[in-house]
Every structure is written in structure tokens, then in C-alpha cells.
Amino acid sequence: MPPTNGIRGGNGAVARCSQYWVAKVHFSIDRGDIWHGNHLHLPGAGDHEMLQRTPATPIPNDGSAHIWTTRDNVRFICKPNMANGYPGEGFIALMGDGTKITFDVAVERRAEPIDGGKSIYFDRKKVFILASRMEDIHGNWVSYHYSGSLLTRIESNDGRRIDIHYNGSNIARAVAHGRTWSYEYFYPGVYQGLNYLREPLLSRVVLPDGSFWKFNYTGKLFPGSYGGASVNPGCPEVFAYAPQFNIEIDHPSGAKGKFSFEYLRHYRSGVPDTCYPQIPNWQEYQNEMGFDGRTHTLQIPDFSDIYSLKSKIITGAGLPQMSWSYDYGSVAYGRIAGGAAIPCMTCPSEKIVSVNNPDGSKTQHIYGVRYHDNDGRYLGFQEVDSAGLVRKAVINHYISNDEASA
């Protein structure tokens, strides 16, 4: 089910579709710390940033303004109200194949507070605008129904229907045409769970025939915390350690998979040095507090830290053990001094993420890493056999901003 989603800091705009807007923030908070634009999330296709449409961008001839678009040319029509009474406008996304997706069910969820300096913290909310209907060019449709923020029913024009039942906020069972899928959970202690909120973890999914998927977790999924020198003058990039996390999954057929994650730092290149004081008179504050409190902020980070898949192992009766490992490459990083040309065309432009396969071959994925140029773009891949020979290569080419607006 595809939601549009974003984190906002109290903009309060209800004309969220028919006009451009940015999050409003307290003067001591950098907007980039709480909000990174609005995104369309599509299952299997990831997040797509919603962009301002330029006058030269083609739009359907349907009389709508189509203010918003995406890099993949999704167009948006404004819906004047939300289906669940949430204030303001909704969106109707027009996909390239003619499919329409209506987003008009808005829900709010908690986000972690942000440190504003001087031990002042500000609350945040995540706002999700969920899909209520999808319809293709032939008139076939699927509708989604909610109770509050919980999806309770999915139905289609051909009579198919799924009813979803909950225990609290967790799915307990899904029922479709007399068949039932049941969901069971593990309720961890404070030092066993994904986070200190002790949120329940899925432990089993029982299928209608009685077979089941089973999930087991080891390690912890606690992202590292920053403080002290990492937010002091110069913004040194101190890495915050976090433990490894593993998931073991048993398939109903008897096969087993183990997935191991490590907390890794991923760099990009050519990022301007934007380490600035976060609070006025920071020297006096630092001396007064008697310790290295938060005084500076890196407004444009040149790195991100995230749990990343490092290995995958599949075993089972009659199966040879199959192992995959993942190498995320490296980038010759370093912030560039103020006044330098952006983008930095002499800075590294790409990195290779390698998937090492059980037969000794590799799949090498190429990603852009140069700030304000190709940062985040998927540039292609190549398949390399166990002897090191390239057997297949695909390269993606992107038009420039000037070409796109021409």
C-alpha cells in the first residue's frame, strides 16, 4: 500500500497540494534536521521525492495545474479534502501507465525529538497520507479502508476482499474468503528489543494450511548516539558505535535464512563545509557548562549512518549452504571549503556496491555520490564471473537539469 510521507515541523499548511511549502521550525533548529521534503513511497520502487514542476515539464491535458511531480514523471492532481476529516488537501497521483492512486487518509505518528542546543528538545511528528484507492485505465480498482491509522479492509471491483484484525496496534489475523493468516509476536524486555520502547517483534506467521514462517532475532538494533566532540567546532565526524543485528527466518518448506546487519557509515563527495554555531555566544555557553555540550551543527552532512545488510546465508534439507556478502565500497570524502565551485567536478563521482554471490561471481551496483550532481542516482550494474570477467553491463544515463528544462 503506497503512502506519501514526510516529516514536518509544524508548517500548518492545509493547501499542501495546490501550493509549495516548507516546514516551519524554531530559530535554533535547522530545517534540514527535521524535514527533507515530501516523498511518494511505492512498494517495490522505494521513495520518490516530490519536486516542483518546471514550466517546460509536460503535463496531461486535463485542466489541472500539476504543481508537483517526481523524477519518474509522476504527476499529481489536488483533492480538495481528506476522506478521514484531516485538515487540508489530498493528492491523486497519475502514474505513467495511466493508473490513478488517491491519497486522502492522513495519520500522524511520533518521531524522535530533536536537540535544539542548551538541552532544549523539540517534539516532531511524522505525517503519512495513505492511499484509499487505486484504479487502472480500464476501470479496475482496489480500495483501502481504515479505522484511525490502522488498515482494516482491502477490496477490489472483482469481489476479492481481505479483512485485517488487530490486537492493539498489531495485526492479529488477516481473513480472505474463509482462509485465515495469523500473526504472533515476541514482546522483548528493555534490552532485547529493536529500541528502548520495547516494541513487539513478529515471531510467527501461521498460514491457512497450518504451516508457518518463524522469525528469531539476535543482537540489538540500537542506532548510535552523537554528542560531545561530534557537535563542537569543526564538527569532527565521530562514529557512534552500534551493535550488530541478525534476523533468522524459517520458511514453511524448511529452508532457513540468516540476515546480518551492521551499522555503517556511507559518505558522499564534494559537500560544502557547513559547520556553523548552533547557538549564539557558544564559547560562553561551553565554558559555563563546564563540558563539551552541543554548540555546532553540520547543516549539510557528507555522510549518513544506517544499519546495512552485510551477509545472507540460506540453508535447508537437500540444499547446499549458500552465502552472500555485501561490500558498500568507499568514497574519498572530505568537505570542500566555502567558495569552491558546486558541484565539485574533480571530486569522486561514484562508488561500487558489490554483492558477492555463492558461486564466486559478483554483481556490482554503481551509485552516484557527488553532491549536487549525481548524488543518490543508480548509474548501472555489471555482472562479473568467478574469473573476474564482466559478462553483462548496464549503464544508466541521465539528462542534465539544463536539458530537462529546455
pLDDT computed for residue 297 by the predictor: 75
Question: Who's near 11: CB < 8 A, 6+ residues apart?
Answer: 21, 22, 23, 24
Higher pLDDT, 290 or 68: 68
Q: Which amino acid is present at 398? A: Y
- Residue among 125, 132, 135 nearest 95 (CA): 135
Domain ranges (residues) in the chain: 1-159, 161-210
Question: Where is pLDDT greater, at 167 or 123?
Answer: 167
Angle at 235 between CA 234 and CA 241, to 5 degrees: 145
What letter would DSSP give residue 60?
-
Q: Residue 174 pLDDT more than 90?
A: yes
pLDDT in tens, 252-296: 999 999 999 999 999 999 999 888 776 666 555 555 554 455 667
- Average pLDDT (381-404) is 90
Cα 305 to Cα 266: distance, rounded to the nearest angstrom: 6
Does residue 198 or residue 75 have the better pLDDT? 75
Can you tell me whether residue 367 is helix, strand or coil?
A: strand
So what's the pLDDT on residue 279? 62
Rounded to the nearest angstrom, the gap between the alpha carbon of residue 394 and the centroid of all alpha carbons in its chain is: 25
Per the structure block, which three cell numbers stand in for 53? Answer: 514542476
Region 11-27: mean pLDDT is 77
Q: Could you read off the pLDDT of 207-216 as tens digits, one per residue?
A: 999 999 999 9
Query: Averaged over 387-406, what is the pLDDT?
Result: 86
Q: Give the integer Cα–Cα distance in Å for 242 and 188.
A: 19
Which three-class secondary structure string do you get for 181-210? EEEEEECCCCCCCCCCCCCCEEEEEECCCC
Read off the pLDDT of each residue in 229-243 and give the average, rounded to a whole number. Answer: 71
Where residue 298 falls among pLDDT bands split at 50, 70, 90? confident
- pLDDT tens figures, 302-323: 888 899 999 999 999 999 999 9
Average pLDDT over residues 358-377: 95
- Per-residue confidence (pLDDT) for residue 230, from 0 to 100: 47
> Which three-class secondary structure state does DSSP give residue 51?
strand
Residue pair 176/163 in contact by the 8 Å Cβ criterion: yes
